[in-house]
Structure 1
Amino acid sequence: MKQLPLPMHLPARDGFDALVVGRNDHAVAHLRGLVPGAGVAAPVYLWGDAGSGKTRLLRALAEQHQAQGERIGWFDAGTALPWTLDEGWSLVVVDRCEALDAAHQQAAFALFVEAGTQGVQWAAGGRLPPVDLPVRDDLRTRLGWGHVFALQPLAEGETRAALRREADRRGILLPDEVLAHLLTHHDRDMAHLMAVLDRLDGFSLAEKRHITVPLLKKMMAENIHDLVPNPPPAP
């Protein structure tokens, strides 16, 4: 009988200090400056392909506010309606703007206006630049009038560094050959790679074995449907 590990691994760190910045240093520097008490800055919009780090950076911004005792509101295309601004928030985040349907676009627009009236910092993200978002014109205009940053995915060396940093944080040994296999046989999407690393950490505990390429292959063979992020549609 296989032993299942208890969920005792460390939660993921969301702060800026845990980031491998890569070519996104200007965006990170700007977000770091959006601290409570410094006054409300112009809205921020981050855009880039899947895996470029939009959500990760928005979470770091939220963590920065929460670390100072502030409360934030987080919404995305899947957040149930209605959307209501809490007077105690210092930051409102809207993620996955490219996927907002008509009702959520209306909610986002109303939230944007109310946040501006109440002096609440606004930040948002999506896969497309504001001009190309399939949203109503008034919302598109507001998402684009502040600071807009196009995010770049990490280069291979930076991706290696990010995975190594997370492995070190977990206290696990991640051999070079395992890193090479991950980068050769998996999507470079950092969210996917981190999910694979998280699963591999637990799988190695369950198997009572060190992390190796054969162990990774065994895990993939046993969990292939869980680890493929976007399986092809059924015919």
Structure 2
Amino acid sequence: MSEQLILDISPAPPCSLENFIAGENKAALEALYQCVPGRAIYLWGAPGVGRTHLLLAMAGKDHTCYFNAEDPPARIHRIATDDNMPYRLIAIDDIDLFSKNGQAAVFALYNRWRATATTAGHFALVVAGNRAPLSLSIREDLRTRLGWDLVFRLVHLSDKHRAEAMQQRARERGLQLQTEVVNWILTHYARDMNRLTALVDALDTYSLVKKRPITLPLLKELLAYSQPSEP
């Protein structure tokens, strides 16, 4: 097995509310657990705080869907205007990146959400962006709608919580991570939890391939082999 393929064959686990390490974001996580049709939640924060993880987790259930700025606005607009609503929850990611047509489609979706919130055709909306609603560079009437119901700011995990998350993932795989390995990762590697989780999985696979325990030299060797080759 090629060492350069280790990270590729060790993808991050599927996003779920259960494997989201909340840290100081417990209020937002609890609101998502309790989110039912008729409610709307707007999540905002810097890149890497877990916005996409949470939206994919919410959209991973039956009768849900997920959209981001790369999806055709016409699909969102069609859902907003069709006679029947087939979804119990709709997740809209990176609203700050939406085009004018995309913003118009989400605006129509919010209007439908409000009009049906107390009817049998109700559905939940979970939307995420990089800033608080009134600070977004989007159309004014959509900014106000983002604040119609619950709004939560997501913050980065502390190093303590990141370390706990990595150790938890390691225990799930029957591993033991040395303190020096965890500390080196927190100092030198990406701080995004999806990438940290994928790295723990990759370390497990690599240690099995090499038949060596997980140590700092093994970690550095894995990362060196996984770097793109120079042209």
TM-score, length basis structure 1: 0.80
* Residue of structure 2 equivalent to 1:48: 45
* Residue of structure 2 equivalent to 1:172: 175
- Partners of 2:129 and 2:91 in 1: how far apart? 11
TM-superposed CA distance for 1:218, in Å, is: 1.4
- For residues 68-109 of structure 1, give each alpha carbon's deviation from its aligned partner in whole angstroms, at most 9, with x where no partner exists: xx3101001122342242722100000111211222222222
TM-superposed CA distance for 1:212, in Å, is: 1.8
TM-score, length basis structure 2: 0.81
- Partners of 2:9 and 2:49 in 1: how far apart? 29
- Partners of 1:48 and 1:101 in 2: how far apart? 20
Give the residue type in structure 2 aligned to 1:219.
L
TM-superposed CA distance for 1:119, in Å, is: 1.4
- Partners of 1:199 and 1:12 in 2: how far apart? 12
The alignment status of 1:80 with 2:72, answered yes or no, reads yes
Alpha carbons of structure 1 residues 103 and 195: separation in structure 2 relative to 1, 3 Å: farther
Verify the 8 A CA contact 1:45 1:123 in the aligned structure 2.
yes
- Partners of 2:31 and 2:13 in 1: how far apart? 23
Give the residue type in structure 1 aligned to 2:110.
F
- Partners of 1:96 and 1:192 in 2: how far apart? 19
Bigger drift between 128-137 and 170-179 goes to: 170-179
Give the residue type in structure 2 aligned to 1:29.
E
Consecutive unaligned residues in structure 1, runs of 5 or more = 227-235
The alignment status of 1:161 with 2:164, answered yes or no, reads yes
- For residues 132-163 of structure 1, give each alpha carbon's deviation from its aligned partner in whole angstroms, at most 9, with x where no partner exists: 11211121111122211011211111111111
* Residue of structure 2 equivalent to 1:135: 138
Give the residue type in structure 2 aligned to 1:61.
M
SS of the residue corresponding to residue 74 of structure 2 reads coil
Bigger drift between 11-20 and 159-168 goes to: 11-20
Alpha carbons of structure 1 residues 11 and 52: separation in structure 2 relative to 1, 3 Å: closer
SS of the residue corresponding to residue 29 of structure 2 reads helix
Give the residue type in structure 2 aligned to 1:60.
A
* Residue of structure 2 equivalent to 1:89: 87
SS of the residue corresponding to residue 104 of structure 1 reads helix
Verify the 8 A CA contact 1:10 1:170 in the aligned structure 2.
no
Matches within 5 A, 1:115-134: 115-116=113-114, 117=116, 118-134=121-137
The alignment status of 1:193 with 2:190, answered yes or no, reads no
- Aligned residue-pair number: 217
- Partners of 1:91 and 1:2 in 2: how far apart? 42
Give the residue type in structure 2 aligned to 1:220.
L
SS of the residue corresponding to residue 201 of structure 1 reads helix
Verify the 8 A CA contact 1:115 1:122 in the aligned structure 2.
yes
Give the residue type in structure 2 aligned to 1:50.
P
Q: Percent identity?
A: 34
- Partners of 1:9 and 1:185 in 2: how far apart? 20
- For residues 23-52 of structure 1, give each alpha carbon's deviation from its aligned partner in whole angstroms, at most 9, with x where no partner exists: 1111112111114xxx522x1101111121
Consecutive unaligned residues in structure 2, runs of 5 or more = none
TM-superposed CA distance for 1:60, in Å, is: 3.3
Which runs of at least 4 in structure 1 moved beyond 4 Å after TM superposition? 1-5, 7-11
